[in-house]
Amino acid sequence: MSLPTEPIGSIPRPEEVIEGLKAYRRGDLSQEALNQIADRALRATIGAFEDTGSPVITDGEQAKPSFLTYPIEGADNVEPGGVEIPFEAGHTRTLPRLTAGPFRYQTYAAEYLERAQAYASVPVKQSVISASALSFLYPDDGLDGYARAAFLEDLVDEVEADIRRCLDAGAHAVQMDFTEGRLAVKLDPSKGLLREFVALNNRVLDRFSDEARQRIGVHTCPGGDKDSTHSADVDYAELLPLLFDLNVGRFYMQFASEDEPARVLDVVREHSTDDQTIFLGVTDVNDPRVESPEEVRDTILRAAEHLSPERLGTTDDCGFSPFGDDRSTARRTAFDKIEARVEGTRRARQTLGLPE
C-alpha cells in the first residue's frame, strides 16, 4: 500500500487491568487471574483497534508492564534505584539498575505478539526496546566480575534475539523504541552519547539482512509520559542527522506536536535516504483534542511538498500510555485519534492520486 499508516504501540488499559495490577502487586491476585484480566483487555483492544479501520494494529501493550522494562520483569539481578529521567511536568521515572551479570531477558516481545495474533484479523506490528535504552541499566560505578563490555555484548545478543523472534513469528514490522535519542542530546550536547547510542543499536541491526531491515523501524519522540515530555526542548535538528545513520528501513517520527514542521521536513529530506520510509506523526497524543480527518489530510499534503509521497507513511506521535500511564489519555480518545489518522491518510492518498 502506498502512504501506509501504522500505530506506535500503547493504548490506555481498562480499569479492570489497572486495578488488577495493583492487586497483583499487593499479593492479592494470582498471576493466572491477572493473565485472564489482561487477555480480556487484549481481545477488547484488538476489536476496538480493528473497528478504527487501521490496516495494521498492535497489542496495545495491554499485558506489558512497561515498554522499556518488559524484558527484565522478574529478574533477580535488578533492583530499583537506577537512572532517573525527569519530565517537564515535574515528575520523574526511575529505571532499575543491574546488580550482577549476566544480563538475560526474562520475557521476549514475541510473546505479546503471538497473543495478539491469536485474536487479530489484520497484520500486527510489535515494538521492542532498544539496546541503547537498556544500556542505562548498567551502573556507572561498574559491577565486580562483569565488565561493561561483557554486558554490552550480552545486551546486543538479547536485543537481536528479541527482534528476530518477532520477525520469525510473522510481525508485520518490528519497531525499536528509541525515545532516548533526543534525551541523549540533552544529557550530552556534544552528541557523544547519541553517537554511542547509534553505534550500539547498529551493532544489533547489522546482524540482519537488508530484506529484514526493511521490516525493522525506529520510533523517535521526546519521551511522552503524563501529557509531558523529557526532551521536547531539544531541537529536532540536533537529533535527526545522526538518527538516519541507524540501519533500518522505517522511521516513526513524532511530528504533529512540532512547532516548526516545515523546517523539520527539510532536515529529514537532507539527511534521510530514498530507501527509508518516513512515518510522520499526524496525531498529538498529549493533546486531548481529536484531530479531524481533514487536519490529518492537510498535514500529509504539506509534508508531500517537502518529501516524495512515495516515501511517506503516517503514525501517531507516540504511544497513548507510555510507562503504563493509563489515565492521562482517555481510552476512547486514543481510538478516535487513530480513526482520524486512518481516514485522514485515506483522504490524502486519494488527493495525491496514490494507489490503495
Mean pLDDT of all residues in the chain?
A: 95
In a domain, 78, yes or no: yes
Q: What percentage of the chain has pLDDT greater than the value 70?
A: 100
* Longest distance between any two alpha carbons in the chain, whole Å: 61
Looking at residue 326, its pLDDT comes to 78
Section 341-355 average pLDDT: 97
- Counting the structural domains of the chain, the total is 1
Residue 66: count other Cβ atoms within 10 Å of its Cβ: 17
Query: Contact 276/246 with Cβ under 8 angstroms?
Result: no
* Cβ–Cβ < 8 Å for 166, 114: no
Is the pLDDT at 206 greater than 70? The verdict is yes
pLDDT higher than threshold 80 for residue 213: yes
Q: Average pLDDT, stretch 83-104?
A: 90
Q: Tell me: the pLDDT tens digits for 40-57?
A: 999 999 999 999 999 999
pLDDT > 90? residue 276:
yes
Q: Does residue 332 form part of some domain?
A: yes
pLDDT at residue 325 above 90?
Answer: no
Q: What is the pLDDT of residue 119?
A: 97
State yes or no: pLDDT of 88 exceeds 90: no
Question: What was the pLDDT predicted at 323?
Answer: 77
Summarize the confidence of residues 178-185 as an average pLDDT.
94
pLDDT value, residue 231: 86
Burial 84-117 (b: 16+ CB within 10 A, else e): ebebeeeeebebbbbeebebebebbbbebbbbbb
What domain range includes position 130? Answer: 15-352
Q: Is residue 218 part of a domain?
A: yes
Residues whose CB is less than 8 angstroms from the CB of residue 254 and which lie 6 or more positions away in sequence, other chains included: 220, 221, 222, 281, 317, 318
Residue 277 binned pLDDT confidence (cut-offs 50, 70, 90): very high
CA angle 6, 309, 240 (to 5 degrees): 70
Using the structure block, give the residue that is written with the C-alpha cell 541523549: 184
Helix (H, G, I), strand (E, B) or coil at 332: helix
For strands 216-220 and 250-253, give the pairing.
parallel
For position 86, what pLDDT does the model report?
85
One-letter amino acid identity for 97? R
What does the buried/exposed string (b/e) look like for 232-259 if buried means 16 or more CB atoms within 10 Å of the residue's CB? bebebebbbebbbebbbbbbbbbbbbbe
186: CB partners within 8 A, 6+ apart: 230, 231, 233, 234
**Lowest-pLDDT range of 13-22, 70-79, 277-286:** 13-22
Say which residue the cell 512497561 belongs to: 66
- pLDDT given for residue 1 in this prediction: 63
Q: Mean pLDDT across the stretch 209-237?
A: 91
pLDDT at residue 269 tops 90:
yes
Give the mean model confidence (pLDDT) for residues 62-80: 92
pTM of the predicted model, to two decimals? 0.95
Between residues 73 and 102, which one has the greater pLDDT? 102
pLDDT more than 90, % of the chain? 84
- Domain presence at residue 7: no
pLDDT digits (tens, 9 = 90+) for 301-323: 999 999 999 999 999 999 999 87
> 224-225 and 78-79: which strand pairing?
unpaired
Length of the chain counted residue by residue? 356
The pLDDT assigned to 330 comes to: 92
Radius of gyration of the chain (CA): 19
Has residue 9 been placed in a domain?
no
**Range with the largest mean pLDDT of 29-38, 197-206, 323-332:** 197-206
Question: Which range, of 124-138, 139-153, 317-331, 334-348, averages the lowest pLDDT?
Answer: 317-331
Residue 34's CATH number: 3.20.20.210
Q: Is the residue at 119 inside a domain?
A: yes
Query: Which residue matches cell numbers 521490516?
Result: 215
2 inside domain: no
Is 3 a member of any domain? no
Alpha carbon of 87 to those of 10, 156, 182, 233, 281: distances in Å? 19, 28, 13, 11, 21
